[in-house]
Amino acid sequence: MRKLGELIPELEASDYTSLWHRFKDLEFEIPESEDRIVAAVDATGIKVSNRGEWLRKYHKGKRRGWIKVHVAVDVESKELLSIEITDEKTGDSEVFEELVESLNLEECLADGAYDSEEIFEFLKEKGIGPPGVKIRKDATTSLSPRGEAVRESQELGYEEWKEKHDYGKRWSVEGFFSAVKRCFGETVRATSPEGMFREVKRKFALYNWVASL
């Protein structure tokens, strides 16, 4: 919570417990944008506590476990556009459509974890193709939207492909993750799976709101 004070100097100091109870009662909405945007998509892990239902339900008390946070971030404003929370077993690409389906995308940047036929097909339907999704080295061409992206990548070479798609801006999502973790830490206080999901989503939305002030 001290990190929030650094972001908002005029914020009155309060004890941690009081702030925490106020925070639990708050609801934050992620603002929607009507403008066409370039979004970077990625996922990160948040550690859970050593107690509670999560361990009993998912890990049988053997280890800590973690929560997976999937986000889309505007590479220009660095603001959060959408967020999905899952357990650690969910693959990055599995929630991609939920993250971006409501966004007015001009371009989408993502690493090789999102290199799948389904994602390229989905982005093609949204008018994006080939997108700035990194292709795996062993990829082969075909007549599909992904095959088109493979041909582009092979013809341009990685450096030229990266420049064309401004792929370096994908790191804006990494910076967003780092900032949230510096502000709130890398663990959750809640002990139930539902509480953990709510807590993580509120932290990300709260940071997004504060950073936009």
Q: What is the 3-state secondary structure (H, E, C) of 58-103?
A: HHCCCCCCEEEEEEEEECCCCCEEEEEEEECCCCHHHHHHHHHCCC
For 155-211, write each residue's pLDDT tens digit. Answer: 999 999 999 999 999 999 999 999 999 999 998 888 888 888 999 999 999 999 888
- CA 161, CA 170: separation in Å to the nearest integer? 14
Q: How far apart are CA 26 and CA 20, in angstroms?
A: 10
Which pLDDT tens digit goes with each residue over 38-87?
Answer: 999 999 999 886 555 555 556 555 555 789 999 999 999 999 999 999 98
Tokens in use for 204?
């990300």
In which band, very low, low, confident or very high, does the pLDDT at 213 lie, cut at 50, 70 and 90? Answer: confident
Pair of tokens at residue 54: 């999560």
Q: How confident is the model at residue 130 (pLDDT cuts 50, 70, 90)?
A: very high
Looking at residue 190, what is its pLDDT? Answer: 85
Report the pLDDT value the prediction gives residue 5, as an integer from 0 to 100: 52
Pairing mode, strands 80-87 and 66-74: antiparallel
Cβ atoms 180, 1 nearer than 8 A: no
Residue 24 has pLDDT above 80, yes or no: no
Domain boundaries, the chain: 2-211
| Res 26: pLDDT | 59
- Bridge-partner residues for 74, per DSSP? 39
The pTM of the full predicted model, rounded to 2 decimals, is 0.82
State the pLDDT at residue 18. Answer: 57
Alpha-carbon gap, residue 131 to 120, rounded angstroms: 8
pLDDT of residue 161: 97
Identify the pLDDT of residue 210.
Answer: 86
Residue 65: predicted pLDDT: 74
